[in-house]
Copies of this chain bind each other. A is one copy, B any other.
Amino acid sequence: MSDLRQALKDNAEAVNKMMDSLIPKADGGQGKLFEAMRYAATSGGKRMRPFLVVQSTGLFGLTHQTALRTAAAVEFIHAYSLVHDDLPAMDNSYLRRGKPTTHVQYGEAVAILVGDALLTLAFEVINDFDTHPDPVVRANLVTALAQAAGARGMVGGQMLDIQSSGNELSMAEIVRLQRLKTGELFSFCCEAGAILAKTPGRARQSLSSYAHDLGLAFQITDDLLDAAGSTAETGKSVRQDAENNKPNFVTLLGVERAKSQAQILAQQAVSHLDQFDSRADLLRELAQYAVDRKF
């Protein structure tokens, strides 16, 4: 196993453990809610966003606890967005990370509440003293997360996404859609270290640029896997975009051009890390992994 794969695996275990500790334990009537939150947040998944947070904080020598709590908060946001996106009224997906989606497992009403609860928990966790002792830093973090996740970020991207069904989108429009839908939260993850270390300026800007290119490379590869992959390999429903008549990078560029675009973005992402020493090596490897992965 390569260093990166081992690091991703170790990171996923550590983040899952942290998330598990942050979700309330079974307690009377809400026990089912907590159980469903745990199901949605801690099962399967590459934990890519938490990995970015942990690598980013590693560049600035922040504590393990700060890194993992911030990473867990971001994954709660990501998990809530998946639960709501999978709902029948949205993508109507029945399989996620090789398991039934939350609404298939627990019912639609519970899935809606699970998403709401995970979203709220993310802000509770990130705002807590245990994440960072300086309230100014935490306030900056809450603001950045809210902007990345909200109507001008991820939720806005979802809105563009559901409106895109059946429409022809230009390359610029699809880039903007993905920038909002996944790019803003990717940027938050990569910038988290700089925010937590109170290091604005060039370092944060470089990480933001890295995140931008990495996010697009990831998305194009996701679209390639969706078009070509099998459910057995990816562990989630495939050919969703074609079925839902949604434009994406592959429908727009074709397979070959999409592949070469992803490679260019991966190289470009790495070039933004020039100012960082070997502590950024896993981020460099990750950019290549983003486009080479098979699931």
Give me the interface of A with B, judged by CB distance under 8 Å: 23-24, 29-30, 32-34, 37, 80-81, 84, 87, 89-90, 107-110, 112-113, 115-117, 119-121, 123-124, 127-129, 135-136, 138-139, 142-143, 146-147, 149-152, 155-156, 158-160, 162-163, 173, 177, 180
Q: CA A28 – CA B87 in complex, angstroms?
A: 25
| B127 lies within 8 A of A143 (CB) | yes
- Chain B residues with Cβ below 8 Å from A116 are 80-81, 84, 115-116, 119, 155
Selected A-B contacts with CB under 8 Å, 28 pairs: A23-B151, A29-B163, A29-B177, A30-B152, A30-B159, A30-B180, A32-B159, A33-B155, A80-B116, A81-B116, A110-B162, A112-B112, A113-B158, A115-B116, A116-B116, A116-B155, A117-B156, A119-B119, A120-B149, A120-B150, A121-B151, A123-B123, A124-B146, A135-B135, A135-B136, A135-B139, A139-B139, A142-B142
- Chain B residues with Cβ below 8 Å from A110 are 159, 162
| A109 lies within 8 A of B90 (CB) | yes
Q: CA A242 – CA B143 in complex, angstroms?
A: 43
Q: CA A287 – CA B32 in complex, angstroms?
A: 35
Closest B-chain residue to A33, C-beta based?
B159
| B112 lies within 8 A of A87 (CB) | yes
Given known A-B contacts A127-B143, A135-B135, A146-B127, A155 and B108 have beta carbons under 8 A apart? no
Whole-angstrom distance from the CB of A115 to the nearest CB of chain B?
A: 7
- Chain B residues with Cβ below 8 Å from A81 are 116
Partner of A124, one of B119, B150, B163: B150
- Chain B residues with Cβ below 8 Å from A84 are 112-113, 116
| B112 lies within 8 A of A127 (CB) | no
- Chain B residues with Cβ below 8 Å from A151 are 23-24, 30, 33-34, 37, 117, 120-121
